[in-house]
Amino acid sequence: KAGVTQTPRYLIKTRGQQVTLSCSPISGHRSVSWYQQTPGQGLQFLFEYFSETQRNKGNFPGRFSGRQFSNSRSEMNVSTLELGDSALYLCASSPATSAGTDTQYFGPGTRLTVL
Amino acid sequence: GQQLNQSPQSMFIQEGEDVSMNCTSSSIFNTWLWYKQDPGEGPVLLIALYKAGELTSNGRLTAQFGITRKDSFLNISASIPSDVGIYFCAGPNYGGSQGNLIFGKGTKLSVKP
Protein backbone atom coordinates (compact mmCIF):
# COMPACT_ATOMS: atom_id res chain seq x y z
CA LYS A 1 0.00 0.00 0.00
CA ALA A 2 1.43 3.39 -0.93
CA GLY A 3 2.11 5.76 1.94
CA VAL A 4 1.02 9.34 2.41
CA THR A 5 2.33 11.58 -0.35
CA GLN A 6 2.83 15.32 -0.21
CA THR A 7 3.61 17.77 -2.98
CA PRO A 8 5.66 19.74 -3.45
CA ARG A 9 8.50 18.65 -1.18
CA TYR A 10 10.17 22.05 -1.18
CA LEU A 11 8.81 25.52 -1.75
CA ILE A 12 10.30 28.99 -1.59
CA LYS A 13 7.98 31.98 -1.43
CA THR A 14 8.24 35.65 -0.52
CA ARG A 15 6.34 37.52 2.13
CA GLY A 16 2.78 38.41 1.16
CA GLN A 17 2.39 35.57 -1.32
CA GLN A 18 0.07 32.64 -0.83
CA VAL A 19 0.81 28.93 -1.10
CA THR A 20 -1.14 25.71 -1.57
CA LEU A 21 0.17 22.36 -0.36
CA SER A 22 -1.27 19.02 -1.36
CA CYS A 23 -1.63 15.71 0.45
CA SER A 24 -2.81 12.30 -0.74
CA PRO A 25 -3.65 9.95 2.15
CA ILE A 26 -3.13 6.22 2.32
CA SER A 27 -5.76 4.47 0.23
CA GLY A 28 -8.88 3.86 2.33
CA HIS A 29 -7.97 6.44 4.98
CA ARG A 30 -10.69 9.02 5.45
CA SER A 31 -9.12 11.37 7.96
CA VAL A 32 -6.38 13.84 7.08
CA SER A 33 -4.64 16.02 9.62
CA TRP A 34 -2.12 18.81 9.05
CA TYR A 35 0.72 19.85 11.35
CA GLN A 36 3.33 22.58 11.35
CA GLN A 37 6.78 21.69 12.64
CA THR A 38 9.33 24.31 13.64
CA PRO A 39 12.49 24.02 15.77
CA GLY A 40 11.06 26.33 18.40
CA GLN A 41 7.48 25.09 18.69
CA GLY A 42 7.81 21.45 17.67
CA LEU A 43 4.85 19.73 16.04
CA GLN A 44 1.66 21.74 16.24
CA PHE A 45 -1.76 20.70 15.02
CA LEU A 46 -3.35 22.84 12.30
CA PHE A 47 -6.62 21.10 11.38
CA GLU A 48 -8.24 17.78 10.60
CA TYR A 49 -10.64 16.80 7.84
CA PHE A 50 -12.96 13.84 7.60
CA SER A 51 -15.43 13.25 4.77
CA GLU A 52 -14.74 16.71 3.34
CA THR A 53 -15.59 18.41 6.64
CA GLN A 54 -13.22 20.17 8.99
CA ARG A 55 -13.78 18.46 12.34
CA ASN A 56 -11.09 20.10 14.40
CA LYS A 57 -8.88 23.16 14.22
CA GLY A 58 -5.75 24.17 16.08
CA ASN A 59 -4.76 27.57 17.32
CA PHE A 60 -3.59 29.17 14.08
CA PRO A 61 -4.74 32.39 12.40
CA GLY A 62 -7.36 32.40 9.66
CA ARG A 63 -4.62 32.76 7.04
CA PHE A 64 -4.26 28.99 7.36
CA SER A 65 -7.07 27.09 5.71
CA GLY A 66 -7.66 23.72 4.17
CA ARG A 67 -10.10 21.50 2.39
CA GLN A 68 -10.67 17.86 1.61
CA PHE A 69 -12.00 16.39 -1.60
CA SER A 70 -14.36 13.47 -2.11
CA ASN A 71 -11.40 11.15 -2.77
CA SER A 72 -9.95 12.14 0.66
CA ARG A 73 -7.09 14.13 -0.88
CA SER A 74 -6.50 17.34 1.01
CA GLU A 75 -4.99 20.73 0.41
CA MET A 76 -3.92 23.43 2.79
CA ASN A 77 -3.53 27.06 1.90
CA VAL A 78 -1.60 29.81 3.60
CA SER A 79 -2.35 33.34 2.48
CA THR A 80 -0.32 36.50 3.03
CA LEU A 81 2.79 34.59 3.98
CA GLU A 82 4.94 35.80 6.86
CA LEU A 83 8.56 34.98 7.64
CA GLY A 84 7.39 32.96 10.65
CA ASP A 85 5.44 30.62 8.40
CA SER A 86 8.71 29.00 7.33
CA ALA A 87 8.37 25.42 8.56
CA LEU A 88 7.96 21.79 7.66
CA TYR A 89 4.28 21.14 6.96
CA LEU A 90 3.25 17.59 7.62
CA CYS A 91 0.15 15.76 6.54
CA ALA A 92 -1.01 12.63 8.33
CA SER A 93 -3.77 10.20 7.46
CA SER A 94 -5.77 7.92 9.68
CA PRO A 95 -8.19 5.11 8.93
CA ALA A 96 -10.64 6.71 11.39
CA THR A 97 -12.22 3.34 12.19
CA SER A 98 -13.38 2.22 15.63
CA ALA A 99 -10.01 0.56 16.25
CA GLY A 100 -6.95 2.68 15.72
CA THR A 101 -8.85 5.89 15.16
CA ASP A 102 -6.01 7.90 16.56
CA THR A 103 -3.13 6.21 14.80
CA GLN A 104 -1.78 8.61 12.23
CA TYR A 105 0.66 7.97 9.42
CA PHE A 106 2.73 10.87 8.21
CA GLY A 107 3.90 11.96 4.80
CA PRO A 108 7.42 13.25 4.09
CA GLY A 109 6.36 16.87 4.52
CA THR A 110 6.64 20.06 2.50
CA ARG A 111 9.50 22.33 3.49
CA LEU A 112 8.26 25.93 3.06
CA THR A 113 10.75 28.77 3.17
CA VAL A 114 9.43 32.33 3.22
CA LEU A 115 11.92 35.04 2.21
CA GLY B 1 -4.51 21.36 28.51
CA GLN B 2 -2.81 18.05 27.89
CA GLN B 3 0.98 18.14 27.68
CA LEU B 4 3.57 15.44 27.12
CA ASN B 5 6.92 15.61 28.88
CA GLN B 6 9.52 13.56 27.11
CA SER B 7 12.93 12.70 28.53
CA PRO B 8 15.78 12.75 28.05
CA GLN B 9 15.92 15.63 25.56
CA SER B 10 19.03 14.16 23.98
CA MET B 11 21.40 11.30 24.44
CA PHE B 12 24.50 9.90 22.88
CA ILE B 13 24.70 6.26 22.02
CA GLN B 14 27.50 3.87 21.30
CA GLU B 15 26.76 1.04 18.96
CA GLY B 16 25.54 -1.97 20.89
CA GLU B 17 24.20 -0.02 23.86
CA ASP B 18 20.59 -0.23 25.07
CA VAL B 19 18.60 3.00 25.07
CA SER B 20 15.60 4.04 27.17
CA MET B 21 13.34 7.06 26.93
CA ASN B 22 10.00 7.93 28.43
CA CYS B 23 7.03 10.17 28.15
CA THR B 24 4.74 11.39 30.93
CA SER B 25 1.50 13.31 31.03
CA SER B 26 -0.55 15.06 33.68
CA SER B 27 -3.71 13.56 32.18
CA ILE B 28 -4.78 10.12 31.05
CA PHE B 29 -4.16 8.92 27.51
CA ASN B 30 -6.01 6.08 25.81
CA THR B 31 -3.43 5.67 23.08
CA TRP B 32 0.33 6.11 23.02
CA LEU B 33 2.23 6.39 19.77
CA TRP B 34 5.98 6.39 19.22
CA TYR B 35 7.49 7.92 16.08
CA LYS B 36 11.00 8.36 14.71
CA GLN B 37 11.92 11.27 12.50
CA ASP B 38 15.00 11.61 10.33
CA PRO B 39 16.18 15.07 9.20
CA GLY B 40 13.96 16.56 6.52
CA GLU B 41 11.49 13.68 6.63
CA GLY B 42 8.13 13.04 8.22
CA PRO B 43 7.74 11.03 11.44
CA VAL B 44 7.53 7.30 10.92
CA LEU B 45 5.27 5.30 13.21
CA LEU B 46 7.28 2.77 15.25
CA ILE B 47 4.83 1.39 17.79
CA ALA B 48 1.19 2.05 18.72
CA LEU B 49 -0.16 1.14 22.17
CA TYR B 50 -3.89 0.97 22.93
CA LYS B 51 -4.24 -0.66 26.35
CA ALA B 52 -2.86 0.13 29.81
CA GLY B 53 -0.05 -2.29 30.67
CA GLU B 54 0.44 -3.29 27.05
CA LEU B 55 3.99 -4.22 26.08
CA THR B 56 4.67 -4.26 22.33
CA SER B 57 7.82 -5.00 20.37
CA ASN B 58 8.90 -4.07 16.88
CA GLY B 59 12.25 -5.71 16.20
CA ARG B 60 14.77 -4.25 18.64
CA LEU B 61 12.23 -1.70 19.88
CA THR B 62 9.94 -2.32 22.82
CA ALA B 63 7.35 0.10 24.16
CA GLN B 64 5.06 -0.07 27.14
CA PHE B 65 1.80 1.66 27.98
CA GLY B 66 2.01 2.60 31.66
CA ILE B 67 -0.53 1.17 34.10
CA THR B 68 -1.55 4.64 35.26
CA ARG B 69 -2.19 5.57 31.58
CA LYS B 70 -0.12 8.69 32.19
CA ASP B 71 3.18 7.41 30.89
CA SER B 72 4.89 5.31 28.27
CA PHE B 73 8.40 3.97 27.72
CA LEU B 74 10.42 3.12 24.65
CA ASN B 75 13.49 0.92 24.76
CA ILE B 76 15.92 0.22 21.96
CA SER B 77 18.18 -2.78 22.44
CA ALA B 78 21.65 -3.20 20.92
CA SER B 79 21.57 0.17 19.15
CA ILE B 80 23.00 0.54 15.66
CA PRO B 81 24.05 3.71 13.79
CA SER B 82 20.76 3.96 11.87
CA ASP B 83 18.91 4.39 15.19
CA VAL B 84 20.16 8.00 15.20
CA GLY B 85 17.30 10.46 14.85
CA ILE B 86 14.58 12.12 16.89
CA TYR B 87 12.03 10.01 18.70
CA PHE B 88 8.63 11.45 19.55
CA CYS B 89 5.87 10.20 21.77
CA ALA B 90 2.35 11.28 20.90
CA GLY B 91 -1.18 10.82 22.09
CA PRO B 92 -4.62 12.00 21.06
CA ASN B 93 -5.84 15.33 22.38
CA TYR B 94 -9.34 14.38 23.44
CA GLY B 95 -9.94 17.85 24.72
CA GLY B 96 -9.72 18.97 21.13
CA SER B 97 -11.71 16.03 19.71
CA GLN B 98 -10.46 13.70 17.03
CA GLY B 99 -7.63 14.02 14.57
CA ASN B 100 -5.45 16.03 16.89
CA LEU B 101 -2.28 14.46 18.23
CA ILE B 102 -0.18 16.05 20.96
CA PHE B 103 3.56 15.46 20.65
CA GLY B 104 6.39 15.45 23.14
CA LYS B 105 9.39 17.66 22.37
CA GLY B 106 11.37 14.65 21.24
CA THR B 107 14.47 12.71 22.29
CA LYS B 108 17.41 13.25 19.98
CA LEU B 109 19.68 10.25 19.62
CA SER B 110 23.21 10.94 18.41
CA VAL B 111 26.31 8.83 18.05
CA LYS B 112 28.98 9.21 20.72
CA PRO B 113 32.05 10.91 19.24
Residue pLDDT, tens place only, B55-107:
999 999 999 999 999 999 999 999 999 999 999 999 987 654 556 889 999 99
Q: Which of residues 17-46 of B touch A (CB under 8 A)?
A: 30-31, 33, 35, 40-45
Q: Which of A47, A103, A109 comes nearest B45 by C-beta?
A: A103
**A46-61 pLDDT, tens digit each:** 999 988 999 888 999 9
A46 touches chain B (CB under 8 A): no
Q: Identify the sign of the CA torsion B89, B94, B95, B100.
A: positive
DSSP 3-state of B82: helix
A89 pLDDT higher than 70: yes
User: How far apart, in whole angstroms, are the C-alpha atoms of residue A11 and residue A78?
Assistant: 12
